[in-house]
Structure 1
Amino acid sequence: MPPSPLGDEGTSRRPLLEIVIPAYNEEGRLPGGLLQMCAKLARLPFPTSVIVVDNASTDRTAEIVRTWPRGQVPVRLVQCAIPGKGAAVRAGLLGTSAPFVGFCDADMATDLAAVDVALGLLLSGERVVIGSRGHRGSHVENRHSRVRELGAFGFRALARVLVPGVSDTQCGFKFFDGAMAREIAARLRTPGFAFDVELLARCAERGARVREIAVRWRDMPGSRFSPARHTFGIVLELGRIWLRLRVPSRPAAHPAWEPPLDPVGSP
């Protein structure tokens, strides 16, 4: 059967928006997430595309992307051998070329209606738009344990020291001016969980306001974050970010990454 004319049109024009999805062993959740994302983007009145970053998965994650049906919204695979969500998002952002870019988690915990709001703000001149579960207009369905809630509270308190005024650095839904995102991604050195903090701090360093928006967010099963296993590593990452922000850095063609911490998901 020949490709549909709509699919040809959607794949032949440069995308206005590219969305990165980091994926580590996501064969169970990725197909459903891609279906949701592609359906959402196909309804937008301009070309879009999706980049899935396979973060050294040992399951069928990469195969799912390679064999994804061709359609109106192109889905492309990028490989990232360095463990950690931060490394994966960095690789994905550096693989974009669109005027506007974003990233979200494979589980699509954030309702994709927020894409319209984020893009509208970017088109109006905002350069950083992020989903915030702490926004008073957000609706959050949370099933986290009390221990994990306390850990998240402590993390937010530390993150606010580095990114003042931002209530939720870790919601996996962030959109940017594309040129700025690529410039900042080249400078990122945090491969693990706390990479969002460095990313947003670098944006603020560039003079970009971080605009938080309300989202509908639902806690999804399958998170790899464990307070017992990851708390020390996260505090260490935040300390490194604090030190790094005090010393001007320059992008390097082959940056010396710090020893990767365990790859974990959103809190």
Structure 2
Amino acid sequence: MPPSPRGDEGTSRPPLLEIVIPAYNEERRLPGGLLQLCAKLARMPFPTAVIVVDNNSTDRTAEIVETWPHGPVPVRLVRCDIPGKGAAVRAGLLATSAPFTGFCDADMATDLDAVDVAFGLLLSGERVVIGSRGHRGSLVENRHSKIRELGAFGFRALAGVLVPGVSDTQCGFKFFDGVLAREAASVLRTPGFAFDVELLARCVEDGSEVQEIPVRWHDVPGSRFSPARHTFGIVLELGRIWLRLRAQPRAAAHPAWEPPLDPVGYP
């Protein structure tokens, strides 16, 4: 289904930056998140836009976007029927056309002041800039259980094999050169939780370095991740990514998806 445009009809200049928000049943958190993001982008001295990807939600997520008030920052809807955050981010990135693009979570857990830093680095020539809760300059409010923290430690160790030197592949705040993002998204095959690892690995494979920046990050209630339910699937996903990158470094432009091991993969 084609995207539904929303926004200020008087805005004629194409956006320099487009930000994707993947959303699955986010009717409670999305309005506040959109307000924060649009307010931030409206203060920037160049045109911007927001794309919300409705990932087969059963609540009012799509309706919220379709009825979002016109304003200086256009907000449009893209629908993705393939379950999984990775599938939604892929659909959103492929729907962009701006010179620079990125994605963040609907809960805006990462303080949006980091947008200024990320965009500045992109303008200076960096092609991949990601928020990192593992950066020594980050301020992190974390209410996760010890079991979840242990699982995160194990995940980082495995992800480090695929994306060496990156301390935090999973922070939902990533920005890219637009051409690179669309090229990497076109060959992305991981629909679930571990999609970030494959996306970053594809960028590194292209010859780009990953620049991590410090963030202020606060834990927002509502996570759907469960160590008991998702750990085995995530390890299997990482194994598939490892095999895929070595067996077929550049897959077909529109690859078939792997069966979703984590059908949601949202924070």
TM-score tier, shorter chain, comes to over 0.9
Residue number in structure 1 paired with 2:223: 223
What is the rounded CA distance, in whole Å, between the counterparts of 1:253 and 1:159 in structure 2? Answer: 24
Shift of 1:253: 5.4
Shift of 1:8: 4.6
Residue number in structure 2 paired with 1:94: 94
TM-score by length of 2: 0.95
The secondary structure found in structure 1 opposite 2:76 is strand
What is the rounded CA distance, in whole Å, between the counterparts of 1:121 and 1:142 in structure 2? Answer: 27
Residue number in structure 2 paired with 1:125: 125
Q: Which runs of 5+ in 1 are unaligned?
A: 1-5
TM-score by length of 1: 0.95
Whether 1:190 and 2:190 are equivalent positions in the alignment is yes
Pairing of 1:20-59 with structure 2 (within 5 A): 20-59=20-59
Pairing of 1:39-188 with structure 2 (within 5 A): 39-188=39-188
What is the rounded CA distance, in whole Å, between the counterparts of 1:111 and 1:178 in structure 2? Answer: 22
RMSD: 1.2
1:53–1:91 Cα contact (<8 Å) kept: yes
Shift of 1:264: 2.0
Shift of 1:25: 0.2
2:127–2:176 Cα contact (<8 Å) kept: yes
1:8–1:72 Cα contact (<8 Å) kept: no
1:188-213 CA-partner distances (Å, limit 9, x unpaired): 00000000000011111111010000
1:120-151 CA-partner distances (Å, limit 9, x unpaired): 00000000000000000000000000110000
Residue number in structure 2 paired with 1:248: 248
- Off by >4 Å, runs of 4+ in structure 1: 6-9
1:187–1:249 Cα contact (<8 Å) kept: no
What is the rounded CA distance, in whole Å, between the counterparts of 1:186 and 1:250 in structure 2? Answer: 10
1:223–1:264 Cα contact (<8 Å) kept: no
What is the rounded CA distance, in whole Å, between the counterparts of 1:96 and 1:59 in structure 2? Answer: 25
Whether 1:263 and 2:264 are equivalent positions in the alignment is yes
Residue number in structure 2 paired with 1:15: 15
1:93–1:101 Cα contact (<8 Å) kept: yes
Identity across matched positions, percent: 83
1:25-72 CA-partner distances (Å, limit 9, x unpaired): 000000000000000000000000000000000000000000000100
Shift of 1:7: 4.2
Residue number in structure 1 paired with 2:4: none
How many residues matched? Answer: 260
What is the rounded CA distance, in whole Å, between the counterparts of 1:91 and 1:8 in structure 2? Answer: 24
Residue number in structure 2 paired with 1:3: none
Using a 3 Å threshold, how does the CA distance of structure 1 residues 244 and 24 change in structure 2: closer, same or farther?
same
Residue number in structure 1 paired with 2:3: none
What is the rounded CA distance, in whole Å, between the counterparts of 2:138 and 2:29 in structure 1? Answer: 24
Shift of 1:174: 0.1
What is the rounded CA distance, in whole Å, between the counterparts of 1:72 and 1:113 in structure 2? Answer: 19
Shift of 1:260: 1.3
The secondary structure found in structure 1 opposite 2:20 is strand
1:114–1:215 Cα contact (<8 Å) kept: yes
Shift of 1:252: 3.7
Shift of 1:256: 1.1
